[in-house]
Amino acid sequence: MNTLVNRIAQGRGDEIADKVLRGGKILDLITGELLTGDVAICGDRIVGVFEDYAAHDVIDVSGTILVPGFIDTHLHIESSLVTPFEFDRCVAPRGVTTAICDPHEIANVIGAAGIRYFQEASQHTLMDIKVQLSSCVPSTHMETAGAALSAEDLAPLRDHPSGLGLAEFMNYPGVIHRDPGCLDKLALFEDGHIDGHCPLLSGKDLNAYIAAGIRTEHEATSAEEALEKLRKGMRVLIREGSVSKDLHALQPLLSERTSPYMCLCTDDRNPLDIGEHGHLDYMIRELIRLGTPPLAAYRAASLSAAEAFGLKDRGMIAPGKRADIVAIDSLEGCHAKLVLAGGVVVNDATFAARKEIASIGRNSVKAPKVQAASFRTRANRVETDVIGIREGQILTDHLHEDIPIEDGDKRPDVTRDLVRISVVERHGKNGNIATGFVKGFGLKAGAIASTVCHDHHNIACVGVDYDDMAVAANRLGEIEGGFVVVKGGKVLAELALPVAGLMSLLSFEEVRDKLVDLRQAARDLGVTLEEPFLQLAFLALPVIPALKITDRGMVDVTRFEIIG
| pLDDT tens-digit readout, 109-165 | 999 999 999 999 999 999 999 999 999 999 889 999 999 999 999 999 999 999 999
96/219 Cα distance (integer angstroms): 21
Angle, in degrees to the nearest 10, between helices 280-289 and 294-301: 160
**pLDDT over 80 (residue 489):** yes
Range of lowest pLDDT (2-6, 40-44, 85-89, 484-488): 2-6
pLDDT in tens, 189-221: 998 999 999 999 999 999 999 999 999 999 999
**pLDDT over 80 (residue 319):** yes
Q: What is the pLDDT of residue 534?
A: 86
* Residue 308 pLDDT level (bands cut at 50, 70, 90): very high
Q: What is the pLDDT of residue 338?
A: 98
As a dihedral over the C-alpha atoms of residue 105, residue 106, residue 111, residue 113, rounded to 10 degrees, the angle is -150
Q: What is the pLDDT of residue 393?
A: 86
Mean pLDDT of the chain: 96
Residue 458's contacts (CB-CB under 8 Å, 6 or more residues apart) are 143, 144, 367, 423, 424, 425, 426, 427, 451, 540, 550, 551
Residue 96's contacts (CB-CB under 8 Å, 6 or more residues apart) are 69, 70, 71, 72, 127, 279, 280, 281
Would you give the DSSP letter of residue 77? G
Average pLDDT over residues 43-66: 97
In one-letter notation, the amino acid at residue 166 is L
Show the 3-state SS of 321-388: CECCEEEECCCCCCCEEEEEECCEECCHHHHHCCCCCCCCCCCCCCCCCCCHHHHCCCCCCCEEEEEE
Q: Which of 416, 395, 411, 439 is nearest to 547 (CA)?
A: 395
**pLDDT over 80 (residue 379):** no
**pLDDT over 80 (residue 378):** no
**CA–CA distance from 215 to each of 105, 307, 339 (Å)?**
22, 12, 30
Check: CB of residue 237 under 8 Å from CB of residue 263. yes
**pLDDT over 90 (residue 2):** no
* Residue 70 pLDDT level (bands cut at 50, 70, 90): very high
Residue 381's contacts (CB-CB under 8 Å, 6 or more residues apart) are none
532/537 Cα distance (integer angstroms): 9
* Residue 564 pLDDT level (bands cut at 50, 70, 90): confident
Q: Within 13 Å of residue 263, how many CA atoms lie on the same side as its CB? A: 31
Q: Within 13 Å of residue 395, how many CA atoms lie on the same side as its CB? A: 11
Q: Which of 460, 467, 479, 466 is nearest to 532 (CA)?
A: 460
Q: What is the pLDDT of residue 293?
A: 98
Show the 3-state SS of 200-265: CCCHHHHHHHHHCCCCEECCCCCHHHHHHHHHCCCEEEEEECCCCECHHHHHHHCCCCCHHHEEEE
Enumerate the β-bridge partners of residue 72.
99
Q: Which of 245, 242, 237 is nearest to 269 (CA)?
A: 242
pLDDT in tens, 240-254: 998 889 999 999 999
CA 165 to chain centre: 17
Average pLDDT over residues 490-496: 98
In the chain, % of residues over pLDDT 70? 100
Q: What is the pLDDT of residue 243?
A: 86
* Residue 176 pLDDT level (bands cut at 50, 70, 90): very high
CB atoms closer than 10 angstroms to residue 204? 9
477/506 Cα distance (integer angstroms): 19
Total residues belonging to the chain: 564
Residue 203's contacts (CB-CB under 8 Å, 6 or more residues apart) are none
In one-letter notation, the amino acid at residue 52 is D
* Residue 394 pLDDT level (bands cut at 50, 70, 90): confident
Residue 472's contacts (CB-CB under 8 Å, 6 or more residues apart) are 447, 448, 449, 461, 463, 484, 485, 486, 491
Residue 494's contacts (CB-CB under 8 Å, 6 or more residues apart) are 475, 479, 482, 483, 484, 485, 514, 518
**CA–CA distance from 401 to each of 388, 439, 560 (Å)?**
11, 10, 21
Would you give the DSSP letter of residue 69? P
In one-letter notation, the amino acid at residue 398 is H
**CA–CA distance from 13 to each of 8, 53, 141, 220, 375 (Å)?**
9, 7, 60, 47, 72
pLDDT in tens, 523-552: 999 999 988 998 999 999 998 899 999 999
